[in-house]
Amino acid sequence: MRVVSAKRKSPGWMAPLTLLLAMLIWLPSFHLFFWSDPQATAVALANRQVQLWTQPERRQGAIADMRRSNAEWDFMGRSYVAWALAQRALDHEIPTSDALNVIDSILEETLKIEEAEGFRFFLLPYAHRAPYLQQPDRSLFVDSEIALIIALRRQVADDRPDLKAIFQSRVAGMVERMSQAPVLHSESYPNECWMFDNATAAAAITWSDRLDGTDHQAFIKQWLERTKAHLVDAETGMLISSYQLDGKVLDGPEGSSIWMAIHALLWVDPDFAKQQYALARKELGRNILGFGFAREWPVSYRGPQDIDSGIVIPFLDASPSSSALAILAAARVGDQDFLEALVSSLNLGAFPMRDADGGIRYAASNQVGDAVLLYGLSQGKH
């Protein structure tokens, strides 16, 4: 075997040239090493989340960690797991009985806490600072998500009259409050409305028509008209994220809100939802060297970095929250290229941690983040 002599002097251009060639080979192709099948990831995420809900001591630890940061995460973690398991049961990805066991235990515990502690238990502390403008005090954040959990659960099996009654009561309450609001959007916090929650409420109301034969078509039509007229950012055409009860803008378009709203609006007005997706994809979606991510804000608007946006990565303006929720929207509209690019980024930057018993979690995430990813990756068949 011939050995290159160590004493032989290489030309000076050899080092930069070989480095340049190596970069040209590696950079366009290294995303392939971080590709994974979204469905396999969803199975592992579901294993982990089901374990959390069937092993109370593990769940309490995960919930306590989140509540130290944000009580909303405790609530949303429940919603996303329940929505995801209902979706997976509908797609025959898990046995119906397994899904219903977990969904029902989530509902039972959540409703019990709400009754004992009040809905503010699941809100940030500033929910206590003032009464709601619409009385009596209620949060559309809590009502809309509970209603949507029951709506999806009833599609799996409509065998619980008690849940049906709770669903009908929540829907009637939401419609009443939204109907009385100036722009037909109701409060999640005192004088603070969120597109995230109002779109979820509109989805639950739409499901009420399909499940129970109610007729809210006129209300939904009016709600869409007011939404398009008053709650769209003039610069980008995207839905804004938060506003006062009278429609005065608090925060412009945000990734952590728009992707979820698109997911919900696909049930309410698919054409409008797809139009919003195209705008959000253009304004917020990015793909660099095969790795996808989503910005929290469009270039024309910059909001505050907060607990919703997560840590926004400098220079790229990549937001973990926006990127995780973008997985949900991309999967729902069937944007496979962006979905796979987002999953590659997840594998690169979120540090997957595999359990011995087949579950997966992400070191950069927490229970609610993993639940959002699970729900997003459970949309694959749509």
Partner 1 sequence: MSRLAPRHFVAVALAILLPFGALHAAGIRGWTSIVSLTFPEHVPHDVALFGGGLYIVLWAGVVLVVPVFLIAALIWVGVERLRA
Which residues of this chain interact with partner 1, rule CB under 8 A?
A: 2, 4-6, 8-12, 14-16, 18-19, 21-23, 25-27, 30, 68-69, 305, 307, 311, 348, 350-351, 353, 363-364
Characterize the bridge pairing of strands 291-294 and 352-354: unpaired
Q: How far is the CB of 69 from partner 1 (least distance, A)?
A: 6
Nearer to partner 1, 21 or 130 (CB): 21
Paired tokens of 350: 């979120």
136 prior amide bond cis, ω within 30: yes
Nearer to partner 1, 12 or 136 (CB): 12
Q: Are 259 and 329 in contact (CB under 8 A)?
A: yes
Q: Residue 68 CA to chain centroid, in angstroms?
A: 20
59 vs 4, 43, 49, 74, 203, CA distance in Å? 60, 19, 9, 10, 29
Q: How far is the CB of 5 from partner 1 (least distance, A)?
A: 8
Q: How far is the CB of 10 from partner 1 (least distance, A)?
A: 7
Nearer to partner 1, 165 or 307 (CB): 307
Nearer to partner 1, 211 or 350 (CB): 350
Nearer to partner 1, 172 or 311 (CB): 311
Q: Are 14 and 352 in contact (CB under 8 A)?
A: no
Q: How far is the CB of 187 from partner 1 (least distance, A)?
A: 26
| H-type alpha helices, the chain | 14-26, 38-54, 56-69, 71-90, 96-117, 140-156, 161-180, 195-212, 217-230, 255-268, 270-284, 320-333, 336-349, 367-377
Nearer to partner 1, 97 or 315 (CB): 315
What is the sign, positive or negative, of the torsion defined by CA atoms of 194, 200, 206, 208?
negative
63 vs 2, 45, 105, 137, 356, CA distance in Å? 62, 17, 15, 25, 21
CA diameter of the chain: 87
DSSP per-residue codes, 36-55: --HHHHHHHHHHHHHHHHH-
Q: How far is the CB of 11 from partner 1 (least distance, A)?
A: 7
Q: How far is the CB of 140 from partner 1 (least distance, A)?
A: 26
Q: How far is the CB of 185 from partner 1 (least distance, A)?
A: 29
Q: How far apart are the first and last CA of the chain?
A: 58
Nearer to partner 1, 173 or 352 (CB): 352
Q: For residue 103, which of 169, 68, 155 has the smallest C-alpha distance?
A: 155
Nearer to partner 1, 2 or 92 (CB): 2
Q: How far is the CB of 305 from partner 1 (least distance, A)?
A: 8
